[in-house]
Structures are given as structure tokens and as C-alpha cells.
Amino acid sequence: MSWERRRRRRVAIAFPIEVSGKGVTGTAFHDRALTNDVSESGCQFSFERKLCIGEHLSLSLVNTDFAKLTGTKTQLFEVVWVEPNNMGWVIGARKLQDGNIWPLTFPLLSKW
């Protein structure tokens, strides 16, 4: 994504999360993962299960102390890209609702 389109930084940080959704067969899943990076508008995480672009997920912070900091325990996301890696898959997801699940404040990017 170009600097002109991205207004907030990605922060490389590993938050333990629970990823919930329905697989392609319609079977519900609840699996743990770690974020690779987060931003105000989404996140990237490593995952053992292959997900499909367009799939809707609920992400929850596993650490309840973090959830207490933001007041948000669960947030809806949409899968926007999927890439294989040596541990399974890397998933890029964007938020589908307002609020901030991450206990961070995201600084504005400068052009310099």
C-alpha cells in the first residue's frame, strides 16, 4: 500500500488472539494465533488453518488485561489476503467495525 493511502502505522507486535469463524464447510472454529503486526485498520497474523479471502472472523485478545485497557474484547474482521508460509498461513485482515481492539495508540505517518 502506498504512503499516500496509508495514514496510520503498522506496529510489529505479537498479541495472542483467538480467531473464531466458520470454515468453508460451515463448521465453527476457535483457534489461537499470534499477530505479526497490527494497525488501526487491521492486522496480520500467522495461522495454521487456511482461510478464504472475504471470510468474516471474530478476533479476541487472549490476554484479558489488554482487553480491559481498550474496553473491547472482540472485533469483527474480514480476510483480505492469504499467503502460505513455513508454519501454515499468513492472514491479512481488516476491521469491519469501529473501535480499537489493540491496546495501542497509532501515530500518524509523516511524508518524510
Whether 11 is covered by a domain: the verdict is: no
Residue 71 lies in a domain: yes
| Cα–Cα distance for residue pair 35/33, rounded to 1 Å | 7
Q: Find the helix or strand (DSSP H, E) in which 24 lies.
A: none
The CATH number linked to 81 is 2.40.10.220
**pLDDT digits 0-9 by tens, 23-63:** 778 899 999 999 999 999 999 999 999 999 999 999 999 87
Is 8 a domain residue? Answer: no
pLDDT at residue 107 is higher than 70: no
Q: pTM of the full predicted structure?
A: 0.83
Provide the grid cell at 32: 489461537
The contacts of residue 53 (CB under 8 Å, 6+ apart) are 79, 80, 81, 82
Q: What is the rounded distance in angstroms from the CA atom of residue 56 to the CA atom of residue 79?
A: 7
In the chain, how many domains are there? 1
In a domain, 111, yes or no: no
